[in-house]
Chains A and B, each alone.
Chain A
Amino acid sequence: MSFRERLQSWRYNLVPDHLVGEILTKRWTDNAIPFLALVVTLATFGSVIPGFFKLTSLQESTRQLGEFSMVVTGMTVVMLGGGIDLSVGSIFALSCFSAVYVFFILEQSIWLALAASIATGLVFGAINGYLVGYLRLRAFLTTLVTFIFGRALFDILVTTYAADVQLSTATSDVLDFIGDSTFWGLSVSVWLAIILAIVTHIALTRSRPGWHVLAVGGSRRSAHNAGIRVRRTVFMTYVFSGFCASIGGFLIACRLSGAGPGTGLNLEIMALTAAVVGGVSLGGGRGSVIKGLMGAIIVLTMTNGLIRLGYGTGTNQMVLGIMLAVAVTIDIRWLKNRHKVLNEVYVAPVYLKMGATQSAAPGSGTPYELDNRLSAADHIGLGELEGPEDVILDRDDNLYCGTRHGEIVRFFAPDYVRSEVFAHIGGFPLGLAFDKAGNLISCVGAMGLYSVSPDREVKRLSAETSRSWTSIVDDARLRDPNDCDIAPDGRIYFTDSTKRYDAHDWALDSIENRATGRLLVYDPKDGSTKTLLDGYRYTNGVCMAHDGKSLFFAESWACRVHRYWLEGPKAGTAECVIRDMPGYPDNINRASDGNYWMAWLGMRTPSFDLSLRHPDMRKRMTRRLPQDEWLFPNINTGGVVKFNEKGGIVEAMGDLPGGAHPMVTSMREHKGYLFVGGILNNRIGRYRISGADPNWTSPASYWGARP
């Protein structure tokens, strides 16, 4: 092995590249960028400005933060619903003025002032909501108009009444308490903001109206088709935003005991920046209150910090603008490209040097030598079937197979012309086995282990095992249950081929070649599922030995067959019985002569074997080429191989031109015939085996003669 190759094997087998992709599949990675921005902002200003985190300084900041974050919460809800509200600043200011007017000029109680404040917010919110929601005007322009109108109104009112407010003598303990005091160390505005945030969060994530908002924002048309009242939902988001802004306005009225021309100025830009920087998507449907709050803290820290560093309003505005631009870019690019990044990063190939193999080429003289015998097989269900991965026959000679439509199809003996859908399970039924009671047990790709009773009742036996401690993606879930077989005591042994890919992406697993295949056992007595073995390269076919004391299982991408002992001195351990085959093994089943049939799903090619030693090349291949162009094992040629108890190869047969059975994933012997299935084929083959016992059947071999 060259030094370079050794380095490659270390680099790709020891560095866990696959974790990057697994982490990216998590939804919480959406929060990572705003959270990082938050930490960086706090750390920067905390270290640059002395006393930034002092209590008195924080107290003033948090009061402001309370008012601001309320506005942001409202904005967040509007944005989640797919809209935008530019009028929050003017609603905020007008609500502030309403409170001031009622309290200082009309000299009414503070509660009436609060009511006036809220009423102002609701009215303006309702105007926005009516125009945008019911009349379906553009949110941006509509709220821009309300913003200009509200601002103008506020400026007129403030200049008219400024003197009167100054002269007023109205006082209230409540007002002072809200404006100046703290409660358990936090000011009232912060408490209110926290309560509002919690309530909104719960409403959004756990209530019907909240889900409606997210649904409408995610896809207006789908929401409409699903029966959601889209217009009313949109209307309500603006009303809620108005409400939030009005509470903020009331709080600032209490804090400043008045309203000035600067009240609520530029608030809409700040709130919008906060929401977007926090990660609430401008397109709607994606985001959360927590994100909005993170954004609020970032924006407020930034603006306050800059002021304390001595920068003027101009700089502040510019920084806000830049932040908004960056956040919008990241938001749109990330949203659009996240799945692409994931696709590019997820496949993380490992290094493997395959052992030298004997040739299977015709004329090579090895036991693996393939011929064209399978080309002569009769076909069953040609053109009707799609993807019979496994085939099985019952005691009455009827033939069963799974299809890619998630069905179990039954062909009736004796001619197998008539067929019916025996049961619909969903997923992709793969391995099949009959238990003692005649239930059909099936490994269903992407779903789990299922049982179909003779009267067609479908029952899920298992869909999960215990989770391993170090997993990032939940590996308790069965992603690709592939084949099963049943021990004499009724326990079902089955394989889950990979933890990394779903059943239909099995081919990707061959490119990656990471050893994540498992052997599991389901115990019908207590319904438990246990992992017996882990860390194989695509565990596939399972077959109980004739004596029921051990089982064989195939490790596809490593071209090996292992024997797992159920009892005896080696119980619980596995040993490799066939290694370095020229083909990739799939299902294994019993033969009438005491040997075992093994399907080859494809053949090793020198170019693919070599690529396994070049993981960097495979990685670049997955990134730079579309999937249709990727190099693959040659699965256009498969075969059926018979091996004996000791792992010796008895014979092999194939269909080299590939006209009938290019890829063979299973075969089942029954009364002197071999029934052949292929996951990518459109037929089942029936091949007469010369010299086979014409009375031997699989159910009898497993469970004895008919009871």
Chain B
Amino acid sequence: MILDPILDIFRGRAVTIPPLDGAFRPNTRLDDAPAFAELSEPDNLLVSGDRLIASSGNAIYSIGVGAAPVVVETFPSPVRALALSPSGELTVGLESGKLLIAGKEVALSADVRCITALAYANDGTLWLANGSAEHAPSQWAADLMKKGASGSLWRRDAASGAFRKVAGDIAFPYGLHPIGKDVLVSESWRHQLVRFDGETGNRSRVLAHLPGYPARLSPSPDGGAWLTLFAPRNRLIEFVLQETHYRQDMLEQVPPAYWIAPALASSRSFLEPLQCGGIRTMGIHKPWSPSRSYGLVVRLDREMQPQFSLHSRANGTRHGICSVAEKDGRLFIASRGGDCVLAIDLASGGF
């Protein structure tokens, strides 16, 4: 309607989010998949030789077929990022802001306190995503609700051994996918994938208007990639992000677990916020209802465009997926909200 721009000044614009359509069309594939292993809040997955490595809490586990996860190593603070160098050195980022390469601590700039992702390029360059300059990785929700955009991207050349800041002012970089000299970064709070030039740090948007908050990226053997989205976009949350006073009061007075904010799992306590569509009616929790948590893994093709996706919908439990790893035609999926690692056979998956 032609009068809308004028009326919007008085009544405010409707809050909208991208629909789950096209490559994002919902399915229940994540909830249908069998649990490969039970693990509390598995965060980062990695394939090392024949083993599948997962981080959970302060420890790193090795998961084999048909056996309970085995602790490989424990750390003084929770593990937040994992990577494996081309020469096989396990690289670990901790909640405390420390970076360990093959067990040895590496000196970092004082600005790096929130390691969210690590990745090695083929030439041995190590990329590091620093989610926020103000918050630790576990305080990501506060960073989002304070509209943080203080993340930065760092690189360490295999030769020099020192970290260099490539770009700053990124709204929570949460995933890294090196492409040649460049790197693809998932910028979570802006719901987009951005490609950064490896030398100059110039950025170009590759994929925008994602229906969720993107988390880690992991390579696929055919040159494509897997993108995880750890939480869905929600119109109420986007609305609260525009409500300055309410948001400030909420940050000050409400415990973080009960914020109107994205979550890795939801409906666990009656103190959590509820939206009208999420009301259980006649014993049914509608799968399309608005939710603070969701499970979503997206397959990207060589041009980094979405091909198809795997879902756990509002009534599912395999929510909060931050990392996947592909190995020998199987996709391993770590669901932090569902406390399990899933395995999906890609060959027979009907994709």
Bound CA–CA A370/B277 (angstroms): 25
Is residue A372 within 8 Å, beta carbon to beta carbon, of the partner chain?
no
Q: A630 touches which one: B12, B236, B272 (CB < 8 A)?
A: B236
Q: Are A610 and B249 in contact (CB under 8 A)?
A: yes
Q: Interface digits, A660-683 against B, CB 8 Å rule (1 contact, 0 not)?
A: 001100000000000000001111
* Chain A 468-512: CB-based contact to B (< 8 A → 1; otherwise 0): 000000000000000000000000000000000000000100000
Residues of chain A within 8 A (CB-CB) of B289 are: 628
**Which one of A4, A624, A681 has the highest number of Cβ atoms from chain B below 10 Å of its Cβ?**
A624
Contact indicator A608/B283 (Cβ below 8 Å) = no
CA distance A146 to B249 in the complex (A): 70
A300 to B277, CA, bound (A): 54
Report yes or no: A634 in contact with B260, Cβ–Cβ below 8 A: no
Distance from A146 Cβ to chain B, minimum over Cβ atoms (Å): 35
Contact indicator B15/A625 (Cβ below 8 Å): yes
- Neighbouring A residues of B281 by C-beta, 8 Å: 680
The reply to whether B271 and A603 contact each other, CB–CB distance below 8 Å, is yes
Q: In the bound complex, what is the Cα–Cα distance between A626 and B253 (angstroms)? A: 27
Docked-complex contact B269 and A607, CB < 8 angstroms: no
Residue-wise interface mask of B (224-259) relative to A, using a CB-CB cutoff of 8 A (1 in contact, 0 not)? 000000000011100100010110011001110011
Q: Across the interface, which residues of A come within 8 angstroms of B269, CB to CB?
A: 361
**Contact of B69 with A by CB under 8 A:** no
Check: B278 CB closer than 8 A to any chain A CB: yes
Min distance, Cβ A622 to any Cβ of chain B, angstroms:
11
Is the pair A634, B270 in contact by a Cβ cutoff of 8 Å?
Answer: yes
A611 at the interface (CB under 8 A from B): yes
CA–CA, A680 to B245, complex, Å? 34
**A632-B245 contact in complex given A361-B269, A637-B270, C-beta closer than 8 Å:** no
Interface string of B262-300 (1 = CB under 8 A from A): 000001011111111111111100000110000000000
* B62 vs chain A, min Cβ distance (A): 33
Instruction: Assess whether A662 is in contact with B280, with CB atoms less than 8 Å apart.
Output: yes
Point out the residue from B11, B259, B280 that lies within 8 Å of A623, measured CB to CB.
B11
A333 touches B (CB below 8 Å): yes
Contact B279 A629 (CB under 8 A): no
User: Is B276 within 8 A of A629, CB to CB?
Assistant: yes
- Of residues 99 through 117 on chain B, the ones whose CB sits less than 8 Å from some CB of chain A are none
CA distance A607 to B11 in the complex (A): 23
The smallest C-beta distance from A307 to any residue of chain B, in angstroms, reads 33
On whether the beta carbons of A610 and B253 are closer than 8 Å, the reply is: yes
Q: Identify the closest chain A residue to B274 (Cβ).
A: A634
Contact A617 B283 (CB under 8 A): no
Interface residues of A in 316-359 (CB under 8 A from B): 333, 337, 344
Per-residue interface assignment for chain B, residues 1 to 18, with 1 indicating a CB less than 8 Å from any chain A CB and 0 otherwise: 101000000011111000
**Which of A370, A507, A635 has the most chain B CB atoms closer than 10 A to its own CB?**
A635
Which of B253, B259, B274, B281 has most chain A Cβ within 10 Å?
A: B274
A115 at the interface (CB under 8 A from B): no
In the complex, per-residue mask of A602-625: 1 if CB is within 8 Å of any chain B CB, else 0 = 010111101101100100110111
Specify the main secondary structure of chain B where it touches its partner: loop
Q: List chain B residues, Cβ under 8 A from A617.
A: 243, 245-246
Q: Which residue of A lies closest to B283 (CB)?
A: A682
Report how far A387 CA is from B281 CA in the complex, Å: 9
User: If the complex has contacts A624-B14, A624-B15, A625-B239, are A634 and B290 also in contact, measured as CB distance less than 8 A?
Assistant: no
Q: Does A386 sit at the interface, judged by CB under 8 A?
A: yes
Pairwise interchain contact A627-B276, C-beta atoms closer than 8 A: yes
Contacts of A662 in B (CB 8 A): 280
Given contact pairs A4-B245, A605-B270, A623-B12, A635 touches B279 in the complex (Cβ within 8 A): yes
Residues of chain B lying within 8 A (CB to CB) of residue A91: none
Chain B residues, Cβ within 8 Å of A438: none
Instruction: Indicate whether A636 sits within 8 Å of B267 (C-beta atoms), given known contacts A605-B273, A607-B259, A682-B282.
Output: yes
Q: Say whether A689 faces chain B, with CB atoms less than 8 Å apart.
A: no
Contact, CB under 8 Å: B260 / A631: yes
**A294 contacts chain B at the CB level, 8 A cutoff:** no
| Complex CA distance for A45 and B246, rounded to whole angstroms | 51
CB pair B277–A605 under 8 Å, yes or no, is no
Q: How far is the CB of A389 from chain B (nearest CB, A)?
A: 13
Query: Across the interface, do A607 and B254 meet the contact criterion of CB distance under 8 Å?
Result: yes
> Bound complex: CA of A379 vs CA of B127, how far in Å?
57
CA distance A579 to B3 in the complex (A): 48
A656 sits at the interface (CB 8 A) = yes
Whole-angstrom distance between the Cβ of B213 and the nearest chain A Cβ? 17
CB nearest neighbor in A for B276: A630
29 CB contacts below 8 A, A to B, read A333-B3, A605-B258, A605-B271, A605-B274, A606-B255, A607-B258, A610-B246, A613-B249, A614-B243, A617-B243, A620-B239, A621-B239, A624-B14, A625-B235, A625-B236, A626-B235, A628-B276, A629-B276, A630-B275, A630-B276, A631-B273, A632-B275, A632-B279, A633-B274, A634-B271, A634-B273, A680-B279, A681-B282, A681-B283
B-to-A contact residues, CB < 8 Å:
1, 3, 11-15, 234-236, 239, 243, 245-246, 249-250, 253-255, 258-260, 267, 269-283, 289-290
Other A-B pairs beyond A629-B235, A636-B270, 10, CB < 8 Å: A333-B1, A344-B11, A507-B276, A606-B254, A608-B273, A610-B253, A613-B249, A624-B15, A635-B274, A680-B280
Interface pairs A-B: 10 shortest CB-CB: A628-B277, A637-B270, A603-B270, A607-B273, A682-B282, A606-B254, A634-B274, A617-B246, A629-B235, A662-B280
